[in-house]
């Protein structure tokens, strides 16, 4: 009996000696066999149970369509709230499926808005010597052609003598005409011979020749045709001379002064039909006013400088190595675009411009030459005072900095994205693809990038049809870096 109990005790001892190592082995290898057991258990569940678990988790099969969580990496994925999307500009239309399209590679050169030499600025000079009695404009005011600018009281002795001689000749011609009329009446009665009448007619022709020469002299002194006719009709000397805004002819570029029949053109009332019509006409800006009321001026002195900003140039600077590409663009009449920087973040693209001509001289020091592009201008703002003074603000102004995009060649079937859709981190370029409620960062290869567009190589990193964020790539990259950085070490910068 004692032997039987002894055997049982040894069996229990042996059992515990075997159980303890086996239990330790099973516990230490639990990470290897537990997923297998769990998968076998999950596969044995019914379809209804699977649906129930899917409903409890808030996901369905449709939620996983196109959103592969198996390939999802937290380090390269970012979930954005609706507010965060708005903050970085991911509004409607900024996350769209990409598609292959043609892209025109361009050459970007620096440029500046410049005046048209000989046409933008017009100097108004004093046609005669005298004293300025009226100044009808102020600096910065907008005036139409034909507007009275100044009034000058004539004081030069030559002008007085020229007018007096013209009036004297007119009087003598009147007397001669009366004498001829009297002689004709007498000759018809046979009292006086016809020779006397012939001599009087010769004298009349001589006076007409002198009068014509004196008329031309008055025109050379600065009088207009209307003013000379005024002297002839009224038989009075002109004491004051009006200076008008010149007429600028687009075809010839000639500047002509209107005659005295043109009245002062005042600014039309806002809202009237004349007001809207005047906005489309060429307007001069009084760029500088050189005289004041009471000044003594001589013939040829500058009274003011007018500027017509309706048509300007964009003057670009290109290197001599780029001459062939610019010439090809000019020959093919390809449209040119200009980029205007409104602020640090916003840029405006001006399309469908044309190259007027290329400069034929290369600067010896910088080895560059100028490119001139036509720039039509428009009025952005108008302000009319109660007194009638009118001020306008042109959209483009000489001196504004721009950039010209010259088309060079066209590539077909390319992935083209806005430059804001690509972020550069070291040697890598990334875009962000929408994946359900997340954005996954995708590395891409950029074939070409300028200030507006980036051409992505179609190498399988992204495919046509993928929804790509067209803006906010830099902000999302910063959010990923902050996400990976974690909390700040409280002992950083301390020595213990």
Q: What kind and span of H or E run contains 317? A: strand 311-319
Among 188-192, 274-278, 397-401, 404-408, the least confident range: 274-278
Asked, for residue 58, whether it belongs to a domain, the answer is no
How many domains does the chain contain in total? 3
Is the model's pLDDT at 90 over the cut of 50?
yes
217 in the same domain as 158: yes
Cα–Cα nearest to 281, from 236, 312, 318, 250: 250
Range of the domain at 301: 121-249+281-305
CA angle, 228 as apex, 222 and 229 as ends, to 5°? 150
Of all residues in the chain, the percent with pLDDT exceeding 90 is: 39
Distance, CA of 266 to CA of 129 (rounded, Å): 27
Distance, CA of 486 to CA of 269 (rounded, Å): 66
Q: Which residues pair with 134 in a beta bridge?
A: 151
Cα dist. 390→149, 246, 306, 378 in Å? Answer: 14, 18, 14, 16
What rounded mean pLDDT belongs to the chain? 80
290 in the same domain as 157: yes
Asked, for residue 66, whether it belongs to a domain, the answer is no
Q: At 26, is the pLDDT very low, low, confident or very high (cuts 50, 70, 90)?
A: low
**Please, which residues have CB within 8 angstroms of residue 362's CB and are 6 or more apart in sequence?**
320, 368, 369
215 in the same domain as 179: yes
* CATH number of the structural domain spanning residue 419: 2.40.420.20
459 in the same domain as 433: yes
Q: Which residues pair with 77 in a beta bridge?
A: 440
Asked, for residue 149, whether it belongs to a domain, the answer is yes
Q: pLDDT of 300-355, one tens digit each?
A: 899 999 999 999 999 999 999 999 999 999 999 999 999 998 877 778 889 999 99
318 in the same domain as 441: no
Asked, for residue 234, whether it belongs to a domain, the answer is yes
322 in the same domain as 395: yes
Is the Cβ–Cβ distance between 172 and 146 less than 8 Å? Answer: no
For 96-154, the DSSP string reads: EE--EEEEEEEEEEEEEEE--TTTSEEEEE-SS-EEEEEE---TT-EE-TT-EEEEEEE
Asked, for residue 5, whether it belongs to a domain, the answer is no
Is the Cβ–Cβ distance between 123 and 302 less than 8 Å? Answer: yes
Q: At 275, is the pLDDT very low, low, confident or very high (cuts 50, 70, 90)?
A: very low
395 in the same domain as 358: yes
Asked, for residue 2, whether it belongs to a domain, the answer is no
Give the residue carrying structure tokens 């018809």: 188
Cα–Cα nearest to 446, from 58, 103, 88, 145: 103
332 in the same domain as 287: no
DSSP annotation of 264: P
129 in the same domain as 91: no
Q: pLDDT of 400-446, one tens digit each?
A: 999 999 998 888 999 999 999 999 999 999 999 998 888 999 999 99
Domain end: 408, 427, 457, which one? 408
More confident residue, 132 or 23: 132
Domain end: 363, 379, 408, which one? 408
The pLDDT assigned to 487 comes to: 46
For residues 460-471, average pLDDT: 92
CB atoms within 10 A of CB 354: 13
328 in the same domain as 179: no
Domain end: 305, 321, 348, which one? 305
pTM, whole model, 2 decimals? 0.61
Asked, for residue 365, whether it belongs to a domain, the answer is yes
Asked, for residue 61, whether it belongs to a domain, the answer is no
- Three-state DSSP at 37 gives helix
The pLDDT assigned to 278 comes to: 42
418 in the same domain as 379: no
Cα–Cα nearest to 104, from 411, 468, 418: 411
* CATH number of the structural domain spanning residue 317: 2.40.30
């Amino acid at each position: 009996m004692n032997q039987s109990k002894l055997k049982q005790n040894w069996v229990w001892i042996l059992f515990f000696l075997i159980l303890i190592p086996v239990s330790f082995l099973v516990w230490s290898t639990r990470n290897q066999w537990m997923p297998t057991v769990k998968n076998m258990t999950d596969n044995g569940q019914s379809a209804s149970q699977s649906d129930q678990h899917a409903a409890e988790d808030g996901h369905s099969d449709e939620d996983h369509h196109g959103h592969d969580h198996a390939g999802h990496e937290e380090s390269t994925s970012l979930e954005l709230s609706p507010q965060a999307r708005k903050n970085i500009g991911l509004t409607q239309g900024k996350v769209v499926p990409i598609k292959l399209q043609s892209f025109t590679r361009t050459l970007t050169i620096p440029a500046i808005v410049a005046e048209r030499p000989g046409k933008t600025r017009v100097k108004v000079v004093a046609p005669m010597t005298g004293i300025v009695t009226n100044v009808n404009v102020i600096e910065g005011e907008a005036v139409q052609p034909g507007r009275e600018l100044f009034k000058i009281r004539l004081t030069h002795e030559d002008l007085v003598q020229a007018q007096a001689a013209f009036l004297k000749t007119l009087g003598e011609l009147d007397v001669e005409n009366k004498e001829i009329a009297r002689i004709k009446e007498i000759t018809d009665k046979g009292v006086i011979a016809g020779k006397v009448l012939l001599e009087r007619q010769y004298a009349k022709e001589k006076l007409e020749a002198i009068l014509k020469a004196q008329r031309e002299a008055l025109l050379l002194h600065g009088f207009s045709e209307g003013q000379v006719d005024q002297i002839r009709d009224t038989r009075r000397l002109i004491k004051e001379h009006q200076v008008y805004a010149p007429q600028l002819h687009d075809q010839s570029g000639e500047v002509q002064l209107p005659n005295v029949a043109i009245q002062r053109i005042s600014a039309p009332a806002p809202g009237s039909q004349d007001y809207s019509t005047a906005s489309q006409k060429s307007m001069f800006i009084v760029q500088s006013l050189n005289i004041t009321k009471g000044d003594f001026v001589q013939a040829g002195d500058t009274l003011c400088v007018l500027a017509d900003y309706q048509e300007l140039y964009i003057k670009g600077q290109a290197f001599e190595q780029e001459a062939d590409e610019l010439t090809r663009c000019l020959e093919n009449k390809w449209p040119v675009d200009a980029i205007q920087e409104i602020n640090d973040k916003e840029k405006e693209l001006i399309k469908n411009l044309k190259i007027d001509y290329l400069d034929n001289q290369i600067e010896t020091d910088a080895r560059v030459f100028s490119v001139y592009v036509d720039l039509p201008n428009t009025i952005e703002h108008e302000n009319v005072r109660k007194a009638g003074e009118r001020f306008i603000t042109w959209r483009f102004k000489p001196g504004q900095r721009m950039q010209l995009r010259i088309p060079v060649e066209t590539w077909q079937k390319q992935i083209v994205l806005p430059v804001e859709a690509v972020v550069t981190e070291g040697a890598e370029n990334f875009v962000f693809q929408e994946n359900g409620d997340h954005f996954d960062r995708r590395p891409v290869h950029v074939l070409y990038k300028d200030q507006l567009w980036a051409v992505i190589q179609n190498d399988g990193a992204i495919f046509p049809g993928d929804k790509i964020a067209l803006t906010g790539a830099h902000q999302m990259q910063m959010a990923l870096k902050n996400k990976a950085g974690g909390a700040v070490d409280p002992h950083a910068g301390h020595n213990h």
